Chain A
Amino acid sequence: MLHHQSFFRIKSLSCVWQTSRGISLTASLCKNRKSGVPKITPFRTKQLTYEEAIPPSRINVRKGWLSFNTSNLHEEKRAAQTTFEDFLVRRFLTGTWHRSLASEVIIKRRHNIVVLSFLVSMERMLPRQVYFLQGYSETMLSGWLKMPVKIELQSVASQSDMVFKKI
């Protein structure tokens, strides 16, 4: 109701301004827009992995977390730094393993060691390239985070092996 009222008020003003487009100043309901929930395509052609297919509301029910650390526990430190480092690591790996990163990156922190595990698609990669990129990523991230970084990756034959669902 409120929405309509303000809409008409603006509409009447817009006549004065000689514009045909109305603007709404009330907050939109956004009931169909949710974070982490992909939209269905008309012919159900969008391929989703298990991680993408399960909505965030099902975390700890049907899927686990992607970051494992103790920073958010009571009286623990570095919550913000840890979150930012995870963001940085994910950005870096997405670019470094361009078009070959088949899954999300799992970041586990054991003591001061950062363990990264993810799946690499071997469609465009040679084993020696994988070994190089693994060492490269470990070295670069260890230098930036000032913590030993270990990459425990696994390979999949192609990206299509990751498909769980089509929507």
Chain B
Amino acid sequence: MASVSVRKTFVVLNSRARDIKFIQQRALHMSLSLKGQDIKSIENDKETSSDTDEFRVYQIEGLKRTSSVRRAERWSKRVPPPRYRSMSTEQDWTDVWPTASTFKWSAVPFPVRQGYVENSSENEGVIPSKYANLELMKGPNFLHLTPAHVQKHCKAIKHFCTKWPEGLETDEQCQKHFPVESVTSDYIYAGPSLTDDRARVASIKFKLSDLKLDYHARDKFVRLVGDRYNPETDDVFFESNRCPLKSQNLEYVKFLLTAVYFESWKNESWEQGKQLSDMETYVWNHNKSHKTCMSLLASIQAKDKTTEGELGKLNYLPENEVDTSVICGLPEVQQYKVAVETLFNVGENMETLNAYKMAVEKLLNFKSDV
């Protein structure tokens, strides 16, 4: 705006040179932003224009660039050199790589390459270096778990550690003092929610031998818990997921243990009517084998009395008539009893069958002449 007003002033100057002073003042008044130098140049121009009749051209200082000054490059554009170039060999690596992080080529001070090149057309036949290498960034790295890091971690958490209690050095001791083992799980996965319906499951495990039970109570306990009892390891395992919360489930399995324990000690009236088919194991005394054996031995005893000579007689039997309980207590009969019981309870295999054979040979005084 200022320059326009000045040009107008020149037109007036050339046409009427008389009122220079007045017009100069007017120009000054019109263009307040003009500086003193500009006024000076107006005066100079007036003098030179008197030689030629051409319009003078006003040169505004600084409008046209006479010399170009090269500005310094923007500092923000400059990328500093990678950090590994300025690392000293004495540095603390834990300060460089404090936590788990993606592989960063500029901070790793060793040369490493990853990738596969088939021929010279790929990456000029060279395996890609660590710069701009996405493959190195993909896999997890252990640069945050060096011995120095682990040492620092241990030092930091040592403050929170307590001494291991005395008398719990071995697993047997732990088992003895803490017989019930409860297991609960917490789940964390890549999702926005912390809740997981699998976390409500709670379980307890204990040895059946740790409970104070007599023969009847133990038998009843095993019958009540069913397949929750493992006879091979003698472990009882209660697990529950029926309640919505973990604490509720844990409470419930503890209640189960209490309830089953006291229930198994109870002797109900209907338990007296236990039949042979209800027996949990084979008991020789209750079975037909016992009766047959006794009658057989009695008849042999009677026969041995009447026959002459020692051949084929059962020498271990007493001479007189005795009670069946005395005969039962004889070592030969006892051996036979054990052999039959193991044959039924353990099952048929070479050992039990051989033991049975030996017991029968001894019981009936067989002599194999092989």
Measured CB to CB, the residues of A under 8 A from B are 49-51, 53-54, 62-66, 68-71, 76-78, 81-82, 102-104, 106, 108-112, 114-115, 117, 119, 122, 126-128, 145-147, 152, 154-157, 161-162, 164-166
As a 0/1 sequence over residues 184 to 197 of chain B, the CB contacts with chain A under 8 angstroms (1 = contact) are 00001111101010
Q: Out of B76, B102, B196, name the residue touching A117 (CB < 8 Å).
A: B102
Please name 26 pairs of A and B residues whose Cβ atoms are closer than 8 Å in the assembled complex, sorted by A: A50-B128, A64-B139, A68-B140, A70-B190, A76-B189, A78-B190, A82-B190, A102-B132, A103-B134, A104-B134, A106-B134, A106-B137, A106-B138, A111-B189, A112-B188, A112-B194, A114-B190, A119-B132, A119-B134, A145-B192, A146-B192, A147-B192, A152-B101, A161-B132, A162-B132, A164-B128
Q: Shortest Cβ distance from A82 into chain B, in angstroms?
A: 7
Q: Does the CB pair B191–A77 fall under 8 Å? A: yes
Query: Quick check: which of B65-73, B114-122, B170-178, B233-241 contacts chain A, the rest being far away?
Result: B114-122
Q: Does the CB pair A117–B137 fall under 8 Å? A: yes
| Also in contact, A77 and B106, with CB within 8 A (given A102-B132, A106-B134, A119-B134) | no
- B216 proximal to A (CB < 8 A): no
| Also in contact, A128 and B122, with CB within 8 A (given A50-B115, A119-B134, A154-B106) | no
> What A residues does B190 contact at CB under 8 A?
69-71, 78, 82, 109-112, 114, 147
> What A residues does B101 contact at CB under 8 A?
152
- B104 proximal to A (CB < 8 A): yes
Give how many B residues have a beta carbon under 8 Å from the other chain's beta carbons: 31
**How far apart sit A145 and B190, CA to CA, in the bound complex (Å)?**
11
> What A residues does B100 contact at CB under 8 A?
110
**How far apart sit A76 and B192, CA to CA, in the bound complex (Å)?**
15
> What B residues does A155 contact at CB under 8 A?
79
> What A residues does B76 contact at CB under 8 A?
126-128
Q: Shortest Cβ distance from A132 into chain B, in angstroms?
A: 13
Q: Shortest Cβ distance from A42 into chain B, in angstroms?
A: 16
Q: Out of A49, A122, A145, name the residue touching B134 (CB < 8 Å).
A: A49
Q: Out of B123, B132, B135, B188, name the residue touching A156 (CB < 8 Å).
A: B132
- B229 proximal to A (CB < 8 A): no
Q: Which chain B residue has the least Cβ–Cβ distance from A127?
A: B76
> What A residues does B115 contact at CB under 8 A?
50, 62-63, 164
Q: Out of B105, B122, B132, name the residue touching A53 (CB < 8 Å).
A: B122
- B142 proximal to A (CB < 8 A): no
Q: Which chain B residue has the least Cβ–Cβ distance from A128?
A: B76
Q: Which chain B residue has the least Cβ–Cβ distance from A114?
A: B190
Q: Does the CB pair A165–B122 fall under 8 Å? A: yes
> What B residues does A65 contact at CB under 8 A?
138
**How far apart sit A49 and B102, CA to CA, in the bound complex (Å)?**
20
User: For window 11-58 of chain B, which residues contact chain A by CB distance below 8 Å?
Assistant: none
- B77 proximal to A (CB < 8 A): yes
Q: Which chain A residue has the least Cβ–Cβ distance from B198?
A: A75
| Also in contact, A154 and B191, with CB within 8 A (given A62-B115, A119-B132) | no
| Also in contact, A51 and B134, with CB within 8 A (given A69-B190, A112-B188) | yes
Q: Shortest Cβ distance from B15 into chain A, in angstroms?
A: 56
Q: Which chain A residue has the least Cβ–Cβ distance from B116?
A: A62
- B366 proximal to A (CB < 8 A): no
Q: Which chain A residue has the least Cβ–Cβ distance from B128?
A: A50
**How far apart sit A122 and B132, CA to CA, in the bound complex (Å)?**
12
Q: Does the CB pair B134–A126 fall under 8 Å? A: no
**How far apart sit A128 and B121, CA to CA, in the bound complex (Å)?**
37
> What B residues does A53 contact at CB under 8 A?
122
